[in-house]
A and B are shown apart, each in its own frame.
Chain A
Amino acid sequence: MSGGVGGPELEPVIGLEIHVQLLTATKMFCSCGLSFGEPPNTRTCPVCLGLPGTLPTVNERAIHFGLMIGLALGCELAPRSIFHRKNYFYPDLPKGYQISQYDEPLCRGGELSGVRIHRVHLEEDAAKLTHAGGGGRIHGSSQSVVDFNRGGTPLVEIVTEPDVRSPGQAREWLQLLRATLRRLGVSNVNMDEGSLRCDANVSVRPAGSQALGTKTELKNMNSFRFLERGVHAEIARQRALIAAGGTVEQETLHYDPTTDRITSLRSKEEAHDYRYFPEPDLIPIAITPAMLDAAQAAMPELPAARAQRLRASLDLSPESAHQLGFRTDLGDFFEAAVVHTEHAQALANWVTGELVRHLGDGDPADSPLEPPALAALVDLVAAREVTQKAAKEVLEELVATGGDPRAIVADRGLGALGEGDQLAGVVAGAIAANPDAAAKIRAGNAKAIGAIIGAVMRETKGRADGGEVTRLVHEQLAAE
């Protein structure tokens, strides 16, 4: 797509704002346990209901997780940071302000995969507002009901610089961020459940320009696909608007994935004035050496680094290394298995291919399959003792009930038919049964061999190695 006729190419400039619910035991500023679908208003206390006279206290682990995220993103950790109040009225905000951070956040700067981080700060989540009637839609219902279970859940807000240049890059980068946060163990990072939420700031500008165009804020796209499609739609909308001689207005927008349409989210009746000021009920956070040590000690190897290491040390393909680096459970299973086999790439293919086909998002560590068993199976295939097809059957059984692959092969007679007489006899039989095909092969039509191989495979129930069968067919025909 291009700009207006004769106009310059318009390049997208995208920044992301991500909210992540932290997986602490308690809320950000009170001792209520976090809520995972409990009945409404059963996870509240005087503090998170905003009762008169109550005061917030900062969750130690939320700070710890914030520091880990800062370290993972290469941020500068502020020696001293403070909380601010962000004042506005809404029924899901019990105190009439959100405790957040403003000009002295926990972390600043940083970078992940070429996208610079502007800041990382801590705040509290709002409660859940359900609109009674009207099918849960905002419009057309006169009453809403507030459930404060979610109110006060610790949130980390991550804001990037406008360094993203395409909708696809936005999706990929967010997936990398999710993998990184999941590896840190600080959040469930689940977009469906709202523990990972993403807004995008989108603008366009003439390619090569350094100036930033007017940006719009695209709210809460609740899947990776919708993020990509939403940003794509907004870029298209801005380009079309400019091509038609219009100008982009700064506003907050909502993307509707069912219609692919973008609508203005808030009426412009009132500009926000959040009246930020330092939260007088809290004192500054000053990172102590002990806090920093604890965060550093808790840092696991991060996905990008793991992928890099697997490529370098095991010579894996970039795709395999990426998949194993970015899915911690697969990477861990792979590394537990790879010490038992010489065939690292083959093992990687089995883990990221057939194993994922069976388990989906499930953790292989939770299945009966043991890492050494998968390594043994890979070795059997490499030694041509089991065909690919038979090995898949073996894996299916291993995933279902565990066990030793050699025993399964022996029990079920799945061993490959080798160069012995048995296979030669089957091939001879197949040639005899398909004289037309044999004649065509002799006449130089190599494709005709398919019929004979097919017959052999039917007869051996797939236990024959395809290459060996081909060799035997040619050998026997030449010998005639």
Chain B
Amino acid sequence: MTEDRAALIGLSALEATRRLAAGELGASDLFAAYRERAAADELNAFTWVAGEAPAAAASTGTPLGGVPLAVKDLFATEGVPSQAGSRILEGYRPPYTATVVHRLAAAGAPLLGKTNQDEFAMGSSCENSAFGPVLNPWDPARVPGGSSGGSAAAVAAGLAPWALGTDTGGSIRQPAALCGIVGLKPTYGAVSRYGMIAFASSLDQAGPFARDVTDAALLLRHMVGERDACDSTSLSFPEEIALPDRTRLDGVRLGVPSELSGEGIEPGVLAAFAATLEHARELGATVETCTLPHAAHGLSAYYVLAPAECSSNLARFDGVRYGLRADGAGDLLSMYTRTRHDGFGAEVKRRIMLGTYALSSGYYDAYYGRAQRVRTKIADDFRQAFAAFDFIVTPTSPAVAFPLGAKLDDPLAMYLNDFCTVPMSLAGIPAISIPNGMAEPPEGGPTLPTGFQIAGPAFSENRILGAAHALERVLDFDSSRVRG
């Protein structure tokens, strides 16, 4: 029995769909196996776990056949807590479901549970959750990365076969790297944002977490497609997402931007990155240094644009229609100010303040206007780079998983975690992080996972997944030990 369950957990999502389709595996059994593990979660990866398996009939004949899905807390799920990691939404159960969750459920990926996250997706460590920090399965004294750290930890630890996350400046890719799994941020607009509790609307994008590249492709296939009429910024995906089968990289031109592959990156991470580049050459790729002249300014632009949008997006949390209302506020002004004081955590307040300041009278041009222009330059840099290279590759995160609390009091140090991922977000282009071997943390000790980032032009997801698949085979990263 226990061994049976362990065997079930060991299946990749793709293998599970095949066995479900062949009738060798029951959807309820698979769900129950994961439900049991998720309910016993010791990483604080889940904020809610489904009480029982959905009727097996619901998945019969669907392409995914009933492989359960962990979903980041900030996706609205009807009747199920959707709190975005915030005290201001504690216990909030929306009357509707996010488009992408709905699509995946219809494709046969029922909701297993909601995963913990940095409050409103603001953070790179999952320590900014009102429901406590998430622990890294590789070392529970360390962070899993963020903001989608609950989803990343759940997949890495085998508490879920795969999961949904969101990425605004690196919130899928960085935790994927720190937890040793695959995470993909699609082209902006490829996945509907309807029902994703917004952080920064022009950057937010949902994407898959999976144990391997093939599973990531399979989940993404059912996330994209026809544009969603409920999301004006969503776009129809021009082709179906294929299951990758590429094993060679002959003739593939990889560009390594000097701006994102040197200074500020831990030596262990750089060494692992260099080793992977060597593998790529062996597979037939060419590797050359390239330049993204404005990429180094990405963080500055990002930390204007994202807070500005969030300051507006979070104005709806006012204690009128849902969520927290502070006790004892007599007048309207104190109802607002005290509700928001009590309901938001420190990082959210910081970003609301930063964004409100950047948009306020007299500062708009200096901050918001300039940041939007930097964004234009960064998108141009990528366009030029893609004229000469098929992909831009970088380390995903400049650092391996760091100890809990290490950067909590230093916002700037925390923001640097997004250094290599933010430029792609600003340009709206797709990027994947795949496990890239282990590296020793700067202070020494047992090695930890690192991530290899591959970015391509808009809608190049199939090509990115193909290249990632080829590299994954030769990197042969083994994460089975953290699945217990």
Residues of A in contact with B (beta carbons under 8 Å apart): 46, 49-58, 85, 87, 89, 91, 94-97, 146, 273, 275-277, 280-283
Contact = CB atoms under 8 A, between A and B. Distances in A.
Given A277-B312, A280-B202, A53 B336 contact: no
B201 A280 contact: yes
**Among the interface residues A54, A87, A97, which one has the most CB atoms of the partner chain B within 10 A?**
A54
11 contacts: A50-B316, A52-B76, A53-B195, A53-B198, A87-B359, A91-B320, A96-B315, A275-B356, A280-B202, A281-B232, A282-B233
Nearest to A270: B333
B96 A275 contact: no
Contact of A53 (B76, B202, B309): B76
B320 A146 contact: yes
Given A52-B316, A55-B194, A277 B368 contact: yes
Contact of A46 (B94, B202, B308, B318): B94
Nearest to B234: A55
Interface of B: 74-76, 82, 84, 89, 92, 94-96, 98, 193-198, 200-202, 229-233, 308-309, 311-312, 314-318, 320-322, 332, 336, 356, 359-361, 364, 368
Nearest to A50: B316
A51 B312 contact: no
A50 B317 CA distance: 9
B316 A95 contact: yes
Contacts of B360: 273, 275
Contacts of B320: 91, 94, 146
Contact of B364 (A50, A91, A97, A277): A277
Contacts of B194: 53-55
B315 A51 contact: no
A273 B364 CA distance: 11
A342 B334 CA distance: 73
B230 A55 contact: yes
B83 to A, nearest CB: 9
Contacts of A53: 74-76, 82, 94, 98, 194-198
A321 B332 CA distance: 54
A281 B201 contact: yes
Nearest to B228: A55
Nearest to A146: B320
Contacts of A91: 318, 320, 332
**Among the interface residues B312, B361, B364, which one has the most CB atoms of the partner chain A within 10 A?**
B312
A409 B356 CA distance: 78
Contacts of A85: 312
Contacts of A276: 359, 364
B28 to A, nearest CB: 30
B315 A97 contact: yes
A282 B336 contact: no
Contact of A94 (B229, B231, B321, B364): B321
Given A46-B95, A50-B321, A54-B194, A275 B232 contact: no
Contacts of A58: 232
A280 B315 contact: no
B75 A96 contact: no
A94 B313 CA distance: 11
Contacts of B233: 55, 280-283
